[in-house]
Amino acid sequence: MVVDEYIGHADLVGGGQTALHSHAGGGGVNVKSGTVSGLSGSVTFNTPFGSTPQVVMTVQDSGATLRDCLYKVTAVSTTGFSWEADASMTLAWIATDAGDV
């Protein structure tokens, strides 16, 4: 039986970047997220990380033609990263300094 269900703050789950933290009390790890579209591009964080973050991407499109597509993250730094894909698609990304992903 589920007693309580907590929904993420709109700024944390809305696909943009925010200075809010994902846990009560603030401080701790820094998490940023967003989406990108196309064949390649770069993301610049609104505020830099204190150290180089880990970045994870996944395909957000659900079309059958994108199941076997390749994409990669390159040039990760405290201020952003670059990405490339072998087909035009929408990708969701998360960057964090929480440690090893």
- Is residue 21, in this structure, part of any structural domain at all? no
Global pTM value: 0.68
The model's pLDDT over 11-52, given as tens digits with 9 standing for 90+, comes to: 555 656 655 555 544 556 788 999 998 899 999 999 999 899
- Is residue 38, in this structure, part of any structural domain at all? yes
Q: Which of 55, 60, 58, 57 is nearest to 45 (CA)?
A: 55
Give backbone dihedrals phi and psi of 10, rounded to 5 degrees, phi first. -55, -35
- Is residue 51, in this structure, part of any structural domain at all? yes
- Is residue 5, in this structure, part of any structural domain at all? no
- Is residue 80, in this structure, part of any structural domain at all? yes
Q: What is the CATH number of the domain that holds 50?
A: 2.60.40.2080
The full length of the chain comes to 101
Number of domains in the chain: 1
CB within 8 Å of 65: residues ≥ 6 apart: 87
Which range of residues forms the domain containing residue 89? 30-96
